[in-house]
């Protein structure tokens, strides 16, 4: 498929994503932080295991550690978690053992207690235990010296558990990214302004708050530069402050073709536009650029003002770019999870832009994944978006869809989840 849509000449979402990824150099600065604060950060230095895990052969069950294959065993002691048996078993001997307790020397199998009968110090079983049964071997999870998590991985809860299990208290991660966030538009009023003080046509600056919430979930530090009027000299002032104090700038509004849309003009004056306008709905006027500064440059993401467009373009274009910028390696920059669902309503669509309709998906009583679009699909309609749990992704060249069609859905990820 061509990069550019035949109908409208717009660049595809896939090409734009690739252009973003190709043009971004990851940050290199790191910091060492307590493991407990590391969830969501990107590992910057290798962490090697200082011990085997499990650290010793231990029992998977509460029961009896046995030496050899016998009809009955003589009980000679016990091994409890944290209190190992101090001695070695001879053939035909057994000890009581609890889950996680060290398997005594000489024991070669563990029988769970449900299969055992005890009379005085004699143990018999309803069925024999196989050699090695219920023994968790030393080092079968992790070997001493093994790399625990690859550099460039995003630290998730299982990584935290693994690292903690290996006794790691601190790790070195890439530093947090810093975003400068601002809104542009004469009609915008900060939330908290009483309704009675809104002028004709004024609206609340909802984008800045929503984008801020999304970026904070991604662990980005925010420089909130509030909202700015549709005046090039003011916008210039805001862009310079943003450029000088952040890794990247996110604006919303003023990026289209209206007579008061100055975002691109000022971006071009202070830096360069990488690309503008994509075959994406909503979000067509998305702009990417750079603002050079004394040391390096600040990336620029100009999101459309329409509230749904701003969030969709953040999710689909900016988030993948930020993953690369913050050091996540290629193998850990997974594309968003997509699956198929059967459509419960008709959808009208004109070919020309990849459409991210807001939908609600669930598994119906027949076990089939179904999806219905939520509300009017205008890029100003937030009520439907708020009731959705997925995007219905309709291909750029595709047209209308009918009830019963199988369509691609993309469940909301963080920060939308
Ligand atoms: N002649 C054309 N007009 C428009 C086109 C086009 O191709 N030709 N594209 C349309 C599309 S698509 C979009 S999306 C919008 C994007 O326009 P801008 O980025 O210039 O945004 P604004 O015009 O400033 O605002 C659009 C809309 O969003 C509201 N808005 C703006 N900022 C906020 C905010 N911070 N919080 C909440 N809502 C905000 C604003 O009031 C407008 O209603 O352009 C179309 N026009
Ligand atoms: O692309 Mo605009 O975001 O459709 O409204």
Q: Which residues contact 333 (CB under 8 A, 6 or more apart)?
A: 21, 320, 323, 324
CB 405 within 8 Å of CB 343:
yes
325 pLDDT above the threshold of 60: yes
CA dihedral 157, 163, 169, 171 (to 10 degrees): -80
Q: Where are the beta strands (DSSP E) in 10-83?
A: 30-34, 47-48, 58-59, 63-66, 72-79
334 pLDDT above the threshold of 90: no
Tell which atom from ligand 2 comes closest to the C-alpha of 379. 5
pLDDT per residue as tens digits for the range 9-28: 899 999 999 999 999 999 99
Outline which parts of the chain fall under CATH 2.40.340.10.
Answer: 339-411
Distance 281 CA to ligand 2 centre (A): 5
Query: Does the CB atom of residue 326 touch ligand 2 within 6 A?
Result: no
Q: Whose CA is nearest to atom 4 of ligand 2?
A: 282
Q: Return the CATH fold of 13-28+175-330.
A: Molybdenum Cofactor Biosythetic Enzyme; Chain A (3.40.980)
Outline which parts of the chain fall under CATH 2.170.190.11.
Answer: 58-136
Distance 292 CA to ligand 2 centre (A): 29
Q: Whose CA is nearest to atom 45 of ligand 1?
A: 256
Q: What is the pLDDT of residue 42?
A: 97
Average pLDDT over residues 47-71: 98
What does R_g of the chain's alpha carbons equal in angstroms? Answer: 30
The count of other CB atoms within 10 Å of the CB of residue 195 is: 8
Query: Does the CB atom of residue 357 touch ligand 2 within 6 A?
Result: no
Phi, psi of 234 (to 5 degrees): -70, -40
Tell which atom from ligand 1 comes closest to the C-alpha of 185. 24
Query: Does the CB atom of residue 207 touch ligand 1 within 6 A?
Result: yes
CB 218 within 8 Å of CB 40:
yes
Tokens of 140: 């079968």
CB 60 within 8 Å of CB 75:
no
Closest ligand, as measured to the CA of 278: 2
The count of other CB atoms within 10 Å of the CB of residue 128 is: 13
- Sign of the CA dihedral with 283 first, then 285, 291, and 297 last: positive
Query: Does the CB atom of residue 205 touch ligand 1 within 6 A?
Result: yes
d(CA 332, CA 262) in angstroms, rounded, equals 37
Q: What is the pLDDT of residue 414?
A: 64
Q: Which residues contact 100 (CB under 8 A, 6 or more apart)?
A: 58, 59, 81
7 pLDDT above the threshold of 90: no
Q: Residue 315 carries which DSSP code?
A: I
Helix 263-270 × helix 232-245 angle, to 10°: 50
Distance 240 CA to ligand 2 centre (A): 27
Q: What percent of the chain has pLDDT over 70?
A: 99
The count of other CB atoms within 10 Å of the CB of residue 226 is: 12
Tokens of 77: 């002691």
Which of 345, 324, 33 lies closest to 175 in space, CA to CA? 33
Model confidence band, residue 416 (pLDDT cutoffs 50, 70, 90): low
d(CA 285, CA 277) in angstroms, rounded, equals 4
Which of 329, 330, 339, 332 lies closest to 359 in space, CA to CA? 339
Calculate the CA 214 to chain-centre distance: 12
Q: Whose CA is nearest to atom 23 of ligand 1?
A: 254
The count of other CB atoms within 10 Å of the CB of residue 38 is: 22
152 pLDDT above the threshold of 90: yes
Model confidence band, residue 417 (pLDDT cutoffs 50, 70, 90): very low
More confident residue, 334 or 153: 153
Indicate the top mutation candidate among 282, 287, 311, 391 to test ligand 2's pocket, ranked by most ligand atoms within 8 A of CB.
282
Indicate the top mutation candidate among 258, 304, 305 to test ligand 2's pocket, ranked by most ligand atoms within 8 A of CB.
304
Average pLDDT over residues 310-323: 97
d(CA 6, CA 326) in angstroms, rounded, equals 35
Query: Does the CB atom of residue 277 touch ligand 2 within 6 A?
Result: no
Outline which parts of the chain fall under CATH 3.40.980.10.
Answer: 13-28+175-330
145 pLDDT above the threshold of 50: yes
Distance 371 CA to ligand 2 centre (A): 22
Question: Is residue 130 packed enough to be buried (19+ CB in 10 Å), middle (13-18) or exposed (0-12)?
Answer: exposed
Q: Residue 278 carries which DSSP code?
A: B
pLDDT per residue as tens digits for the range 212-233: 999 999 999 999 999 999 999 9
Q: Where are the beta strands (DSSP E) in 80-169?
A: 93-97, 109-112, 116-119, 122-125, 135-136, 147-149
| Average pLDDT of every residue of the chain | 96
Q: Return the CATH fold of 30-52+140-174.
A: Molybdopterin biosynthesis moea protein, domain 2 (3.90.105)
Outline which parts of the chain fall under CATH 3.90.105.10.
Answer: 30-52+140-174
Calculate the CA 71 to chain-centre distance: 54
Q: What is the pLDDT of residue 337?
A: 92
Q: What is the pLDDT of residue 1?
A: 62
93 pLDDT above the threshold of 60: yes
Model confidence band, residue 304 (pLDDT cutoffs 50, 70, 90): very high
Query: Half-sphere exposure of residue 180, counting CA atoms within 13 Å on the CB side?
Result: 20
d(CA 24, CA 289) in angstroms, rounded, equals 11
Q: Where are the alpha helices (DSSP H) in 250-318?
A: 263-270, 307-313
Tokens of 89: 């078993």
Among the four given CATH numbers 2.40.340.10, 3.40.50.150, 2.30.29.30, 3.30.9.10, the one describing domain 339-411: 2.40.340.10
Tokens of 342: 């059967």
Query: Does the CB atom of residue 353 touch ligand 2 within 6 A?
Result: no
Closest ligand, as measured to the CA of 279: 2
2 pLDDT above the threshold of 80: no
| 234 upstream amide cis, omega within 30 of 0 | no
Q: Which CATH superfamily is domain 58-136 in?
A: Molybdopterin biosynthesis moea protein, domain 3. (2.170.190.11)
């Amino acid at each position: 498929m061509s990069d550019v849509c035949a109908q409208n000449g717009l660049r595809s979402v896939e090409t734009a994503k690739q252009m973003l990824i190709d043009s971004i150099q990851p940050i290199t600065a790191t910091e060492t932080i307590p493991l407990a604060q590391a969830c969501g950060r990107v590992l910057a230095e290798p962490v090697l295991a200082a011990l085997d895990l499990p650290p010793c052969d231990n029992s998977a069950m509460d029961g009896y550690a046995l030496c050899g294959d016998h009809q009955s065993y003589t009980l000679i002691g016990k091994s409890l978690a944290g209190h190992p048996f101090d001695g070695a078993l001879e053939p035909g001997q057994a000890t009581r053992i609890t889950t996680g307790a060290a398997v005594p020397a000489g024991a070669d199998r563990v029988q769970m207690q449900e299969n055992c009968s005890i009379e005085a110090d004699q143990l018999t079983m309803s069925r024999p235990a196989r050699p090695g049964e219920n023994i968790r071997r030393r080092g079968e999870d992790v070997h001493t010296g093994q790399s625990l998590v690859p550099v460039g991985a995003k630290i998730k809860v299982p990584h935290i558990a693994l690292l903690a299990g290996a006794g790691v208290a601190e790790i070195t991660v890439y530093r947090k990214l810093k975003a400068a966030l601002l809104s542009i538009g004469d009609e915008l009023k900060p939330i908290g302004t009483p309704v009675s003080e809104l002028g004709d046509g004024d609206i609340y600056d909802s984008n800045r708050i929503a984008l801020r919430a999304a970026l904070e979930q991604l662990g980005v530090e925010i420089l909130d530069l509030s909202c700015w009027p549709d005046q090039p000299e003011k916008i210039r002032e805001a862009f310079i402050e943003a450029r000088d104090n952040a890794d990247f700038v996110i604006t919303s509004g003023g990026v289209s073709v209206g007579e008061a849309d100055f975002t691109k003009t000022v971006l071009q004056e202070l830096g360069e536009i990488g690309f503008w306008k994509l075959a994406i709905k909503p979000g067509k006027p998305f702009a990417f650029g750079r603002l050079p500064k004394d040391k390096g440059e600040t990336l620029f993401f100009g999101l459309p003002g329409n509230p749904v467009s701003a969030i969709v373009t953040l999710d689909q274009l900016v988030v993948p770019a930020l993953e690369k910028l913050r050091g996540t390696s290629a193998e850990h920059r997974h594309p968003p999870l997509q699956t198929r669902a059967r459509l419960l309503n008709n959808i009208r669509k004109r070919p020309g832009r990849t459409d991210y309709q807001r939908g609600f998906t669930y598994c119906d009583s027949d076990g089939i994944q179904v999806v219905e679009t939520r509300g009017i699909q205008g890029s100003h309609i937030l009520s439907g978006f708020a009731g959705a749990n997925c995007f219905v992704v309709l291909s750029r060249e595709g047209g209308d869809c009918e009830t019963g069609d199988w369509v691609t859905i993309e469940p909301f990820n963080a920060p939308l989840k």
